[in-house]
Structure 1
């Protein structure tokens, strides 16, 4: 039998492995989690663990999330998917128990885990930038393509967590850190923030802005001189206004459209050919109508001379070359004729052949282009146009179907494992909504829980998720509060608990921070101490 110190070293090793592997490798995460549980099982003190349950409400409430999954089996019809759900969410049951029944994490131990996360995120971000710089020759179709190891959305969450961890560590060790480490830490924060915007996960960008805002407000409030504090608030407010102005201007540019000349039907190309008559749709790019000034004859002939893909071809991602060409020319304010085609640069021709349909998207990392695409998606959805492939607008469809499913199963939900089948039936009933490859689930964890477990299960999930935050007064500890914000906001835009990396991130850091380190509740501290004797 291993000594207690050996078990503790293994506990810390596997914890650090999970933190390091989260941004890099699912297998590494699995090995780390299994190692934690096996090490805990072989440590003899686990037998006394059950004595510590009395009064441990935050833990019991959180474990209730997994119990909810088990109870949901009563109403399920698809047991194969239900068992998959039970397996995926197993970290929500086991990891909190391991951390709660182990000795409380000391500051140095917590720092080790956080440094492992920071190291993993740094390695992942460097690898991604090597793709961005084409040192690793992988074709970039969008900003998400540079996330090599895990979903770009989950990666963005981990980057936000790494930034929060870095700021926390620098704050805790600021007086003792050498100057060089302070500089490196600051540069690393800047690197992570910039990389988040390069990655262009809207969830990550929003969370990063909120974390930065909270940090700045906290720092400004700490300024003792009222005059300096006022100046700081004014400067920070100006920065926010500039950002808001950029967003507003981008939105306005979409809805501000050109005035159509009543005599437009008399216009001809430079070669004397007539343009197509009238507007067949209201589609527009950068304030210009796509269907105006189109000469199909010249457009097809000249494009076939310039491009490698034929005018009537379908690109490898399923887009029509002619459609992308028309939209791109429109976005530049060019007429869709021979002159327009030959006004394109070689890089622009290559971009069109990759499906780029707006000059703002020439760089897949353009923030302005990202905002514009989101505005366009909302507009297309409101006009009843097919929104397949539009990440934001698709979610409106998912949520609309979720509302229909919930209204039919509001009391107890569809049951564990049956959400996929419930959505499948709705897509069969509404075949025109999205193409099969875009027919996914809610992409909102809160909605998914209400659909799966009904009104009572959904409310219980919210209570179980938020109760430890309230009971342990997590808002008093900036690092814990930052994690809570990251986790809760991620669930608005993603089914965070439905993927291996997502649920592992949630279960692991919830356990580390709430049940392994925070433990401000007397009942928690007392019972864990008793169990360790």
Structure 2
């Protein structure tokens, strides 16, 4: 309809809009996707575009996964849910069909899109951080409130991806101008700090897998002979060591229960201690429900805080319970004598609902301490509600039960939610109705929904993508592949519009670096990579 230059301009305007809209909001995302589709229709040349589409293995596989959602309607019963799911998965149709036909999407333009994405993510992360710290809306207590624009989990994955991209671009030919290097390197460091600060578990997991994968990348790509052999020997030792440290940090420390005869039963003020002998719950390695004098805590708490001890903290839990756990985490006895040892900052943390001094440290240590406590409660038969880790364990177990009964074809496009509810009831789960979600694990979701064909096609898609970018030496594409796969381990990444768009968009754009084709002597679509 228009000249080729106008169509190309509109294409890159749409691609830029999607890049900006991913971390910003769904409106920009939807409008940019609409512009991309309309421009593709108006431009014509459908035979050429279809040919280019068929030459892109990643695009074909992603399209087949979308078609599987259509095919899955055959054995579904809940068409309302199925149609809603198909609408969410439209990016799996749009980007594979449209983007391979965009002429001129070469390495330079791909790096431009990555640069724009990284800058936008950085700006939004800074806004999130400033607002969360109280710059505009006062104090916050839940880290999930840190993300103002999109889901904190989705944004956390974008932050990890952008941080590594920034560092790679800073030391690549893209940053040959000094100002780019001066901008990108601090951006990478800031986004890594933001991941540490936000404590998104999937973000930590993504960084861990990226470090492992990139270490293997550099050993394989940059060394040969003796150096590679030495590196490959050291490599698994590093992985085992780090994994062991994380496991020991997460697994609760088993404390030997004190012998009742060895315990003290009188406080320095002459009151009686209570010991719950059957409890093994620990905070920071200290038993929680020992050496408790409720009488003294009630009498003296008001000397340090204006918040009544029987009221709720900022997170909705009883101040008394938070106080007990916090004092235990500091190795204190729960009496008037040790209550005096709490600082004003400690009192403020307790009022805010911080139940352990370890949680004040922030970062990975704090997050692992939370996971450790949740596992303790779960193994002791505690309530899984309100714990993201324990709720996931319940949903994963339920997902495997469903797979066991429907391994071949799954339950169909629209029946996954209803099937999960039925199996939760059969299992007599302790999860409240509002917490009875699907698997929170994309691999399980694909298997539950579409059976063996679904999980097989899904695995093939990502294996093909990673193998292609490995052979083509495209490190940013490799980074994205690892980030996405890591997200599947703890999240239903494709089950939201933002998640589906993030995955489909960058899978296709970044696969552009490995698609080269000659047609009548002319370089088409992606051009040669340097």
* Residue 442 of structure 2 corresponds to residue 438 of structure 1: no
| Residue number in structure 1 paired with 2:528 | none
- The alpha-carbon deviation at position 472 of structure 1 amounts to 6.8
Q: What is residue 483 of structure 2 aligned with on the other side?
A: 486
**CA–CA distance in 2 between the matches of 1:475 and 1:204?**
26
Higher relative contact order structure (alpha carbons within 8 Å, sequence separation ≥ 6) = 1
Aligned to 2:395: 398
Q: 2:287 aligns with which of 280, 286, 289?
A: 289
What corresponds to 1:204 in structure 2? 203
d(CA) in 2 for partners of 1:526 and 1:458? 38
- After the TM superposition, which of the residue ranges 215-224 and 349-358 deviates more from structure 2? 215-224
Distance 2:392 2:237 in 1: 33
CA contact (8 A) 1:66 1:92 kept: yes
Q: Which residue of 2 aligns with 1:195?
A: 194
Q: Secondary structure at the match of 1:415?
A: coil
Map Cα deviations across residues 146-169 of structure 1 (whole Å, 9 max, x no partner): 222112221121122213432443
1:255 alignment partner, SS class: coil
Quickly say closer, same or farther: Cα 1:72–1:528, change in 2 above 3 A. Answer: farther
Structure 1 residues 242 and 487: CA distance shift in structure 2, 3 A: closer
Equivalent position SS for 1:416: coil
Query: Residue 491 of structure 1: CA displacement?
Result: 0.7
* Distance in 2 (alpha carbons) for counterparts of 1:527 and 1:75: 44
Q: CA deviation at 1:374?
A: 1.7
Matched, 1:16 2:16: yes
* C-alpha contact 1:411 1:455 (8 A) present in aligned 2: yes
Q: Distance in 1 between matches of 2:233 and 2:182?
A: 27
Alignment of 1:86-485 (within 5 A): 86-173=86-173, 177-215=176-214, 247=246, 250-251=249-250, 254-255=252-253, 257=255, 260=258, 262-264=260-262, 266-315=264-313, 317-363=315-361, 365-470=362-467, 476-485=473-482
Cα deviation code 1:97-156 (max 9, x no counterpart): 111122141222212211110111111111122134422334322333222211222112
| Equivalent in the alignment of 1:512 | 509
Within 2, Cα distance between the matches of 1:362 and 1:473? 41
1:381–1:95 distance in 2 versus 1, CA, 3 Å? same
Q: Deviations along 1:254-278, whole A, 9 cap, x unmatched? A: 4153662543555211221111244
Shift of 1:501: 1.1
| Cα distance in 2 between the residues matched to 1:473 and 1:242 | 26
Q: How far, CA to CA, are the matches of 1:391 and 1:261 in structure 2?
A: 35
3-state SS of 2:423 partner: helix
Long gaps (5+) in structure 1? none
Residues 74 and 317 of structure 1, relative CA distance in 2, 3 Å threshold: farther
Gaps of at least 5 residues in structure 2 are 526-530
Give how far 1:305 is off: 4.8
RMSD: 3.3
Trace 1:517-532 onto structure 2 (pairs within 5 A): 517-520=513-516
Question: Tell me, what secondary structure is at the counterpart of 1:149?
Answer: coil
- Structure 2 length normalisation: TM-score? 0.88
CA spacing shift, 1:306–1:423, aligned 2, 3 Å: farther
Q: CA deviation at 1:304?
A: 4.5
| Paired position in structure 2 for 1:499 | 496
Aligned pair count reads 524
